[in-house]
Amino acid sequence: MVDFVPAVSITLGSGLDYMVKLLSNSNHLRYQKIPYCPLPSATGHQGRLYWGELCGLPVAMLQGRVHCNEEDDVHRVVFLTRALAKLGCKKFIFTHAVGAVNKNLEPRDIVAIRSHVGFNCPDPTAGLGIPLLGTEFTPMGEAYSSRLLALAKKCALKSNVSLHWGVSYFKVGRTYETEAEVEMMRRAGADVATMSTVPEVIAAVHMGAEVLDLALVTNMGAGLGSAVPLSHDEVKSVAKQMKKPFGDLIKEIINEMKIL
């Protein structure tokens, strides 16, 4: 990958690992082969870095991510995001499975994240020497690129995919939310709950990149849906059901990015 400069990096969340098949002329490297790279332990996160072409653009795909509930050091959580930004990647698409805290959402909905609540999210811009990677203090008012959000909306219409708008609430996990936490998140203005992505978004924005965050609702938050306890297998199952529409949307977005 020494001479490969990705125009776009796509991080694949739980149950979305199949998207690597969208790439042509692809190669991959296991995270174990990348110096200093942390390894994911959550099921469904394979731990492979793919690179190849998608719709004529050079694209990197992370088949699996490390979460803050697996790694104590947030700087290791965002290691690959920062590495790809240093390689020259200027656009990042993050995908992830989320739980709905907005009663108007339901499983299999795709949500374009426009902002987040991250008070309890470890900040990857904190620490000695980190300002050398970006600005000393990073504004987050438009962390989620309005240009890429508008592009996603246009592409969803072309792909005949229903796309919702929303705010994510970061929770370290690995426990899922209680009913009281779901109520608190909703009152804070959130639509979905996530255990990932927010640290990576912050790191990418810190390094001057544009970010698009596409979240897939795989379950309703506690007290909003089934009384059957949620499992990670259920999350992955719902994600795989969205293979075609989510894949179609990603392809259309990448195709439109060629003219940005």
CATH number at residue 176: 3.40.50.1580
Query: What is the pLDDT at residue 23?
Result: 94
User: Quick one: which of 161, 174, 160, 167 has its CA closest to 140?
Assistant: 167
Q: Domain containing 13: what range?
A: 8-257
- DSSP letters, 230-246, are P-HHHHHHHHHHTHHHH
Q: Is the peptide bond before 174 cis (omega within 30 degrees of 0)?
A: yes
Q: Within a domain: residue 87?
A: yes
The pLDDT tens digits of the residues spanning 186-199 come to: 999 999 999 999 99
Q: Within a domain: residue 3?
A: no
Query: What is the pLDDT at residue 2?
Result: 58
Q: Rounded CA gap, 130 and 154, in Å?
A: 36
**What global pTM score does this model have?**
0.92
Q: How many domains does the chain have?
A: 1
Q: Where do we find the tokens 């694209």? A: 59
Q: Within a domain: residue 2?
A: no
Q: Within a domain: residue 165?
A: yes
The pLDDT tens digits of the residues spanning 11-41 come to: 998 778 888 999 999 999 999 999 999 888 7
